[in-house]
Amino acid sequence: MSVQKPVKRISAPDIAARKGGEPIVSLTAYHAHTATIADDHCDFLLVGDSLGMVMHGYESTVPVPLELMIMHGRAVVRGSKRALVVVDMPFGSYEESPAIAFRNAARIMKETNCGAVKLEGGARMAETIRFLTERGIPVMAHIGLTPQSINVLGGFKTQGRTRDQWAAIEEDARAVAEAGAFAVVVEAVAEPLAARITRDIPIPTIGIGASAQCDGQVLVMEDMLGLSPRVPKFVKEFGKVGEAIEGAIRAYADEVRARSFPAADHTYGVKD
């Protein structure tokens, strides 16, 4: 009898080794069943704090608590076997000090069994990234548009549209790479700058609204499936799942009102 070998899960070092190679594929995932569907096709699944907006109706990612990230992180780990699972550290869980960041990152990894955490911020978070990585926690960084900072940025604004902004963003990229991040998300950054950063730093860049020249791409799954009512310019809808769901619900409602559902095939008779 043949014994099927267990699937080896992709690790943070595996992602780091993909710099300049085959593009890295990623999507967000928040539930076990969508993680199962995406697992065969994605190199890593991001349990993004965007779940606060997509799943829970918040207007931004700022209110998302640590416990919510852990709950969804557990579900995605349970639903996947192959992809690296990266869990976002929510606003307020890592900024105060490297020690507090470590405590919360360690809790995420221990309680979800994920393979890495992600935190926002460039040069200002370099010390924290170094502190975590030196203590065994793989860190994915996030620069450019950092959604947790929208109250400072004044909204979800594209970064690097003028060249006088480039130096600071490039310094952020260099700083997180030197601090030990294994990869960096580059969000809503002007295409030429994102391509330049990708060429200049030794770790993979994961673009979202950036450049096709990035080492990989990530999108919010619900956005690319056509489930979200409003999406940024950088999103391509690869499906129309929202329309399909609405059509199915409409058909169900019509049949219930017409008393044609449930039919005989969907009910149970009596056994005498």
Cα(175)–Cα(189) distance, integer angstroms: 17
237 catalytic residue (yes or no): no
The answer on whether 14 is annotated among ligand-binding residues is: no
The letter for the amino acid at 8 is: K
Quick one: which H or E segment has residue 152?
helix 150-153
Burial of 215 (0-12, 13-18, 19+ CB in 10 A): buried
Contact 86, 43 (CB under 8 A): no
Catalytic option among 95, 127, 187, 191: 187
Q: Are strands 84-88 and 116-118 parallel, antiparallel or unpaired?
A: parallel
The answer on whether 149 is annotated among ligand-binding residues is: no
53-61 contacts at long range (C-beta below 8 A, 24 or more positions apart): 54/28, 54/30, 54/220, 54/222, 54/228, 55/30, 60/147, 60/150, 61/90, 61/91, 61/147, 61/148
Please state, as a whole number, how many other Cβ atoms lie within 10 Å of the Cβ of residue 132: 26
The answer on whether 265 is annotated among ligand-binding residues is: no
The answer on whether 157 is annotated among ligand-binding residues is: no
What tokens appear for 70 in the block? 């852990």
Alpha-carbon torsion (14, 19, 24, 29), positive or negative: positive
Q: Which residues are catalytic?
A: 187
State the binding site for Mg(2+).
Answer: 49, 88, 120
